[in-house]
Amino acid sequence: MDIIASHESNVRTYCRLFPAVFVSARGATIVDECGNEYIDFFSGAGALNYGHNPPLMKQKLIEYLEQDGVSHSLDMVTSAKSLFLERFEQVLLRPRKLSYKVQFKYPTGADAVEAALKLARKATGRQKVVYFADAYHGLTLGALSVTANPVKRGVAGVPLENALMAPFDGDCHGEVDSLDYLEFLLRKGELPAAIIVETIQAEGGVKVASFEWLRKLERMARRHEIPMIVDEIQVGCGRTGDFFSFEPAGISPDIICLSKSVSGMGLPMSLVLIRPELDVWSPGEHAGTFRGNNLAFVTARAALTYWEDNTLTDSVMQKAAFVLQQASNQAILHPQVINGVRGRGLIQGIVFHDGELAVNVARACFERGLIIETAGPANNVLKILPPLTISQADLENGFQKIAAAIDAVIHGEQTRLQSSAMLG
């Protein structure tokens, strides 16, 4: 840790939240250099939906490396890429009656968002993009322009222009509907190049858009001929049960951004799925040195095995019911500090009244052997994001640690207040 503090940039984040030197991981368990084991309710911020070192993907990767398979190829054709594309079409797109071209991007989700915004502007000839309050789409300049957090936006150093923020589902109160308000904004000004939306605002505090709201948004976009971009980066790849989080809403986005768990085991990979008529790129207009990560193609193809039937989806929904019950129990037990629970599938959030309290609970969880983070503009949401393949025993153990952490923090806060009152 001293080496990290001395030599790594101050921008580092998670090593401050989880101050340990980790040496191995498997499934939902991470082990540090002292032999301490931690249950993972963080999943690499959604990059490890299938857990750490899933055996099938690891074995396929080892076999590929031992055969001296091509590792880097830009966008040249390799067997790894063609086999992945074929399998992606067979297992995911065709059964869902979806038709998309696939653009391979740089490694991160923000890169996928950058490409999606750029393509929408090229296809429409328009500039402005609509995004939603509390949205998070990445920290590169284009993605940051449609990210709502004012602190993160403030670091840009330049004006973040050509973006229009609208209220998310549930943000408006009383008789005002958030999409009626957006309709008013659209009629008032020039039509935008795109609307970008998350079905669940993970970093925004696990705020869930209703299916009806998403359908109404799609109808609005179609009516005005505005491409609709759905950011599936953290909540796709099975996080909500179905592979795509938008599936149950019955919508068909024009552009889809995928990353994080699309590679299956945390290898860098991101995709942009494009409705064919919007694929107006000319060769080389948007490129990237590492868009041909063949090691990720190999593991991503192996990950598709999970989607050959409904076994994983059914398992996720069963576990989600347990998680919701356990999280709700904490809200019932501690109404003085917890507002409630929100989420869908295996992304759930315990909403605290106070951000400092939530951060202290996350810290107390780590001290008890559970890795978990907070989310939301005020960091007041304890975000539950375990691997989809986590065992029931690990889920139960993890919630025991959450319960113990909440009790400890509340007791400590009460003691502090009592001491302050006595001193006063």
Minimal CA–CA distance to 315: which of 46, 94, 88, 50? Answer: 50
Q: Are strands 255-258 and 228-231 parallel, antiparallel or unpaired?
A: parallel
Chain segment 120-143, per-residue pLDDT in tens: 999 999 999 999 999 999 999 999
Least confident of 25-39, 175-189, 235-249, 287-301: 175-189
Query: What is the CATH number assigned to the segment(s) 69-307?
Result: 3.40.640.10
Chain segment 234-251, per-residue pLDDT in tens: 999 999 999 999 999 999
Minimal CA–CA distance to 340: which of 319, 324, 355, 356? Answer: 324
pLDDT above 90 for 172: no
Q: What's the whole-model pTM score? A: 0.95
Q: How many CB atoms lie within 10 A of CB 114?
A: 25
Mean pLDDT of all residues in the chain? Answer: 95
Minimal CA–CA distance to 373: which of 99, 44, 5? Answer: 44
pLDDT at 417: 47
pLDDT above 60 for 383: yes
Chain segment 11-52, per-residue pLDDT in tens: 888 899 999 999 999 999 999 999 999 999 999 999 999 999
The pLDDT-based confidence of 5 (bands split at 50, 70, 90) is confident
Residue 231 sits at the vertex; the CA angle it makes with 356 and 18, to the nearest 5 degrees, is 35
Minimal CA–CA distance to 398: which of 408, 409, 387? Answer: 387
What is the CATH superfamily name and number for domain 2-54+310-423? Aspartate Aminotransferase, domain 1 (3.90.1150.10)
Torsion region of 240: left, alpha or beta (phi above 0 gives left; psi -120 to 50 gives alpha): alpha
The pLDDT-based confidence of 106 (bands split at 50, 70, 90) is confident
- Residue for token digits 């810290």? 363
Enumerate the domain spans of the chain: 2-54+310-423, 69-307
The pLDDT-based confidence of 8 (bands split at 50, 70, 90) is confident
